[in-house]
């Protein structure tokens, strides 16, 4: 690949949402922010003609999406992907979008493109007032559809990713899930967007397709030109435009090391996850959508430790039915059998609001009606899920877990509802596992403080370190301004985690960690030393963590943990751990 030494080198940092390194030519896609070609007033005699043009564009967009959907069905793409296209097709039938555009053409006597853009602006203004990132992503879905309509109105081609023939790095203001769903690994080497966050569907799909990606770059579409050579490092979120030959060489070596390291890790796949002195730590997986299971199995995950069921509720106008719950959970249980699957009940509220439900705007949503609090307020909705989980439990080793528990009453109330569902199912003659195990997430400091009491009333606990850090360090986990305070090595965090694990160990109750800490070897080392039984993480982390566990004795991990308790700052702990890690375990590929 020839570099152009006259072009300026640009280094950018975004959010790495899918790991790996790729080097390729930029391929810019026109997505997001399509500007109508022109504004014009129309003569009243032209109104019907404009409306007809608009309706042709609607039909053309519908046909295009239907074709994409059929192609995805033929290619055997998962239901989650297809449902997104179906949601987009529904937006095309939306009365507000259609009627308001027609009204604007009639009342304001403007061309269809302009009328449509005005309606979009109104809709966006409405969404802009909301803080919730999930709702903002729904607004983006509408924007994507309107852009497709605009391109059809203007007779411009909505270039499909499926048409890309050469291997390229795709660059766009934003990519719709309809785009990611069409990506073919090998042709789309990686992708970069101005917009986006870790929880967008686009990011989720990139991970499940294992295509390196960096999002949230803000100005990549302005910085990169078609044909530029680009380095994408999806692990660190680094992007280099027009790198020099020597930098390319550095990244090529890094890529090779990364790939070799990934391959070498498979050596550990069938080896037991145990320390040199025989302490077993079960390594299990976190998942959001069914497509992630294959990668978890491939990397040797011995079960699912956290199934985030929120994704069953998103991208749709109605709520999932009991049958849908049963189908989804049964599929996962069967695939993972005989290994266990922990299904976490709905964790919405806070930064994730269900579009199907009327909800009040909260001043402090992270401290608001979230997760179990939301479910205990919306009992009917909760019971549909509980019944679904129970019925699926007759097909495999399914366990149930309640999120965001802050006190014992919540545990008891949730368990009462579960018992009520069991009684109903019994009367209805429906099969379920009467002895289904029930656990809770420990992610609120108040629950952590009474972990010794909680473990008396549950079968297992799992520490959600993402939220436990948020609540114990008082830092909003989605606020980039306080991100520097997000320190898993903070002595307070370590003490809280230690206390919880010890309480569970003392009671003989299984204790796991399913927050991001579990998947990072340096933190896993500490969790091991504190005495954790299970660690739950994404597919790629499983073998990295197993490698660490197999490289150390439990006795040594305990000694390390004892020493770190004397340190006063996260930095001191980190420095100490860094002196300990190299002898045990070294991930050399970044050097």
Q: Which residue lies nearer to ligand PEP by CB, 306 or 436?
A: 306
Which residue minimizes CB distance to Mg ion? Answer: 467
* Cα gap 18→536, rounded to integer Å: 18
User: Does 201 participate in catalysis according to the annotation?
Assistant: yes
Q: Which residue lies nearer to ligand PEP by CB, 111 or 345?
A: 345
Residue 514 interacts with, from Mg ion, ligand PEP, none (CB under 5-8 Å by kind): ligand PEP
* Cα gap 543→265, rounded to integer Å: 6
Find out whether 384 and 426 touch, Cβ atoms under 8 Å.
no
Q: Which residues are near Mg ion by CB under 5 A? A: 443, 464, 467
Residue 350 interacts with, from ligand PEP, Mg ion, none (CB under 5-8 Å by kind): none
Contact region with ligand PEP (CB under 6 A), list: 30-38, 462-470, 547-555, 560-568: 462-470
What is the smallest separation between the CB atom of 406 and Mg ion, expressed in angstroms? 12
By CB under 6 A, tell whether 443 contacts ligand PEP: yes
Q: Tell me the C-alpha to C-alpha distance, in Å, between residue 402 and each of 274, 334, 373.
A: 28, 22, 10
Provide the β-strand partners of residue 512. 462, 534
What are the respective helix, strand and coil percentages of the chain, to the nearest 5? 50, 15, 35
What is the smallest separation between the CB atom of 467 and ligand PEP, expressed in angstroms? 3
Number of other residues whose CB lies within 10 A of the CB of residue 68: 22
Q: Which residue lies nearer to ligand PEP by CB, 234 or 403?
A: 403
Q: Which residue lies nearer to ligand PEP by CB, 61 or 406?
A: 406
Q: Which residue lies nearer to ligand PEP by CB, 115 or 497?
A: 497
Residues 6+ apart with CB under 8 A from 1: 23, 25, 229, 248
By CB under 6 A, tell whether 467 contacts ligand PEP: yes
CA trace torsion 501, 505, 511, 515 (10° rounding): 10
What is the smallest separation between the CB atom of 170 and ligand PEP, expressed in angstroms? 28
Number of other residues whose CB lies within 10 A of the CB of residue 477: 16
> 41: which DSSP letter?
B
By CB under 6 A, tell whether 464 contacts ligand PEP: yes
Residue 383 interacts with, from Mg ion, ligand PEP, none (CB under 5-8 Å by kind): none
If residue 213 lies in a helix (H) or strand (E), which one and from where to where? strand 213-215
Find out whether 535 and 513 touch, Cβ atoms under 8 Å.
yes
Choose, from 158, 201, 325, 490, the residue flagged as catalytic: 201
Provide the β-strand partners of residue 214. 16, 192
Choose, from 375, 421, 514, 561, the residue flagged as catalytic: 514
* Cα gap 117→100, rounded to integer Å: 11
Number of other residues whose CB lies within 10 A of the CB of residue 236: 13
**Residue ranges in 342-361 that form contacts with ligand PEP under rule CB under 6 A:** 347
By CB under 6 A, tell whether 308 contacts ligand PEP: yes
The pairing of beta strand 304-308 with beta strand 238-241: unpaired
By CB under 6 A, tell whether 198 contacts ligand PEP: no
Crossing angle of helices 379-392 and 322-336, rounded to 10°: 40
Select the residue interacting with ligand PEP from 3, 466, 505, 553 (CB under 6 A).
466
If residue 295 lies in a helix (H) or strand (E), which one and from where to where? helix 292-298
* Cα gap 135→357, rounded to integer Å: 12
Q: Which residue lies nearer to ligand PEP by CB, 142 or 283?
A: 283
Interface with ligand PEP (CB under 6 A), residue total 10
Residues 6+ apart with CB under 8 A from 433: 390, 393, 394, 398
Residue 113 interacts with, from ligand PEP, Mg ion, none (CB under 5-8 Å by kind): none
Rg value, the chain, Cα: 26
Contact region with ligand PEP (CB under 6 A), list: 115-123, 242-250, 431-439, 461-469: 461-469
**Residue ranges in 492-551 that form contacts with ligand PEP under rule CB under 6 A:** 514-515
By CB under 6 A, tell whether 465 contacts ligand PEP: yes
Residue 353 interacts with, from Mg ion, ligand PEP, none (CB under 5-8 Å by kind): none
Q: Which residue lies nearer to ligand PEP by CB, 291 or 347?
A: 347
What is the smallest separation between the CB atom of 282 and Mg ion, expressed in angstroms? 20
Catalytic residue set: 201, 514
Residue numbers of the site for ligand PEP (CB under 6 A)?
Answer: 306, 308, 347, 443, 464-467, 514-515
């Amino acid at each position: 690949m020839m570099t152009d030494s006259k072009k300026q080198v640009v280094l950018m940092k975004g959010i790495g949402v899918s790991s790996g390194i790729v080097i390729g030519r930029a391929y810019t896609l026109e997505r997001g922010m399509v500007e109508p070609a022109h504004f014009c007033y129309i003569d009243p005699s032209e109104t019907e003609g404009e409306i007809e043009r608009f309706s042709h564009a609607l039909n053309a967009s519908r046909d295009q999406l239907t074709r994409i959907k059929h192609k995805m069905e033929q290619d055997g793409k998962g239901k989650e992907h297809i449902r997104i296209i179906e949601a987009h097709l529904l937006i095309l039938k939306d009365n507000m979008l259609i009627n308001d555009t027609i009204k604007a053409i009639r009342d304001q006597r403007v061309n269809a493109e302009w009328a449509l853009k005005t309606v979009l602006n109104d809709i966006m203004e409405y969404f802009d007032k909301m803080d919730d990132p999930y709702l903002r992503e729904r607004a983006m879905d509408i924007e994507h559809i309107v852009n497709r309509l605009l391109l059809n109105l203007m007779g411009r081609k909505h270039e499909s990713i499926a048409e890309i023939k050469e291997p390229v790095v795709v660059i766009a203001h934003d990519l719709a899930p309809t785009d990611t769903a069409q990506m073919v690994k090998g042709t789309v080497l990686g992708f970069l967007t101005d917009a986006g966050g870790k929880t967008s569907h686009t990011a989720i799909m990139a991970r499940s397709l294992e295509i390196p990606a960096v999002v949230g770059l803000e100005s990549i579409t302005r910085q990169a030109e078609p044909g530029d050579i680009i380095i994408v490092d999806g692990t660190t979120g680094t992007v280099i435009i027009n790198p020099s030959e020597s930098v390319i060489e550095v990244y090529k070596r890094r890529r090779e090391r990364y790939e070799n390291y990934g391959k070498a890790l498979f050596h550990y796949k069938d080896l037991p996850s145990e320390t040199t002195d025989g302490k077993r730590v079960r390594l299990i997986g976190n998942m959001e959508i069914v497509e992630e299971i294959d990668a978890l199995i491939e990397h040797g995950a011995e079960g699912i430790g956290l199934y985030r069921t929120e994704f069953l509720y998103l991208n749709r106008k109605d709520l999932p039915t009991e049958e849908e719950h049963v189908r989804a959970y049964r599929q996962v249980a069967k695939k993972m059998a005989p290994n266990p699957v922990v299904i976490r009940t709905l964790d919405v509220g806070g930064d994730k609001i269900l579009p199907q439900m009327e909800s009040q705007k909260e001043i402090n949503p992270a401290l608001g009606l979230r997760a179990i609090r939301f479910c205990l307020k919306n009992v009917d909705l909760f019971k549909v899920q509980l019944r679904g989980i129970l019925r699926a439990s007759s097909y495999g080793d399914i366990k149930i877990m309640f999120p965001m528990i802050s006190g014992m009453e919540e545990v008891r109330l949730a368990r009462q509802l579960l018992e009520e569902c069991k009684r109903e199912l019994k009367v209805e003659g429906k099969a379920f596992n009467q002895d289904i195990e029930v656990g809770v997430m420990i992610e609120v400091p108040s629950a952590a403080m009474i972990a010794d009491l909680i473990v008396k009333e549950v079968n297992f606990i799992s520490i959600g370190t993402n939220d436990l850090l948020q609540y114990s360090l008082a830092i909003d986990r989605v606020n980039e301004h306080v991100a520097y305070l997000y320190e898993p090595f903070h002595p307070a965090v370590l003490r809280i985690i230690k206390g919880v694990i010890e309480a569970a160990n003392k009671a003989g109750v299984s204790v796991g960690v399913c927050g991001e800490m579990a998947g990072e070897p340096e933190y896993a080392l500490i969790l091991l030393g504190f005495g954790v039984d299970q660690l739950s993480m994404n597919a790629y982390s499983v073998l990295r963590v197993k490698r660490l566990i197999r490289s150390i004795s439990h006795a040594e991990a305990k000694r390390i943990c004892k020493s770190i308790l004397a340190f006063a700052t996260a930095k001191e702990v980190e420095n100490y751990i860094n002196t300990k890690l190299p002898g045990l375990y070294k991930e050399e590929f970044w050097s």
